[in-house]
Amino acid sequence: MEGEPTLRLRIFNLNCWAIRYLSKRRQQRVRLIGDTLRQEGFDLVLLQEVWSEQDYSELKAKLAGSYPFSHYFRSGVIGSGLCVFSRFPILDTLLYQYSLNGYPYMLQHGDWFCGKSVGLVVMKISGIIFNVYVTHLHAEYCRDKDAYLPHRLVQAWELAQFIRHTSKAADVVLLGGDLNMHPEDVGIRLLRGWTGLQDAFAEAMRFEGCKNGCTLVPDNCFTDKSELLPFPLGIRIDYILYKAISSFTVKCEELKTTTGRAPGTDIPFSDHEAVMATLGDGEKDMGRQRYSSGRMAVLALLLLLLQAAAALATLAGLGAEQPFPKLSFCLLAFLALGVLVLATGLHLFHTMEVKMLHGTEDQMWMMLRALQERPSEG
């Protein structure tokens, strides 16, 4: 619509590998992630494996100036590890914990204790309602003998269902996270096929980073090289997926990944590479349709006016040797004027209706924010 700012959203997604007491150089890397995010000034940050609430609190304090809105999703025994930082207000949040998530007796893996989940935050950016999902699915551990494949498939299905049933009021859907699945795996095909989500790597107009967009690469000093022996270039298991709903359009202008060491340091952010996407072109198709329809309506009204003028000119005796009687032109002129008056009335009514709807929508969002900020009574 005219006067509406063009959408350009920069997104940062990373599995931070921040397991307290177990992850190598965790505190140093968390500080490095915070410093980088503060300098780069992304619009939206989606993090996984931030298992310590202390790490989240430190990131929140450090990033308060750049990302004043944030949310940490709590789940399971040690948490979901999911958190979101945003430049834009978070209007609502929701967490869904997957029904299957490993086995409690597999202590060496520990996924069951994490409470793997999908978190949802709802935001309004440039007048567009975004449903932003962040998730972390069950790890694979061994591709040849993947005992957790059924659990991961169930999680992919529940994720797809959760997105479908919670995104009906959204204009744009965005999913970021460590899905622990290769692009050709059945779980990814199920998720994308059922939700219609697009892969930012596949759709990006420009790409810079690891070959094939891999996010688990042998060049990373924290990566378990034995897991990547069948994949000398690495694997891609971290994603940014998106889609536009209704009459909106969104495209991925650029996608980047880190390539091992973080800029200016001798260590990476994590054992995973970060994925950074730039989404743009949030113009409403509906706005273009209204503009096109408006032009057609103006042309139609001009034709009616010309027709009415011709008929009136005939009645006034300005036309020469007309083949039709003056009564016919008189009726045609009144019909044209009637259509013109009706079209003008409908246009004014529609204009007032749209303004009222927009005004009511703004008031409802304002009330929603007020209810969220109001301390609970009792």
Active-site residue numbers? Answer: 272
Cα–Cα distance measured from residue 56 to residue 60, given in angstroms and rounded to the nearest whole number: 6
d(CA 205, CA 236): 19
Sheet with strand 8-18: strands edge to edge:
69-73, 82-86, 44-50, 8-18, 275-280, 251-257, 206-208
Quick one: which of 65, 9, 55, 66 has its CA closest to 32? 55
- Give the separation between CA 239 and CA 156, rounded to whole angstroms: 13
Q: How many helices (H) and strands (E) does the chain have?
A: 8, 13
Q: Token pair 């529609």 is at which residue?
A: 350
Nearest C-alpha neighbor of 16 from the set 54, 42, 43, 55 = 55
Q: Check residue 211 and report its DSSP letter.
A: G
Closest C-alpha among 165, 173, 87, 172 to residue 127: 172
Give the H/E segment covering residue 166: helix 149-166
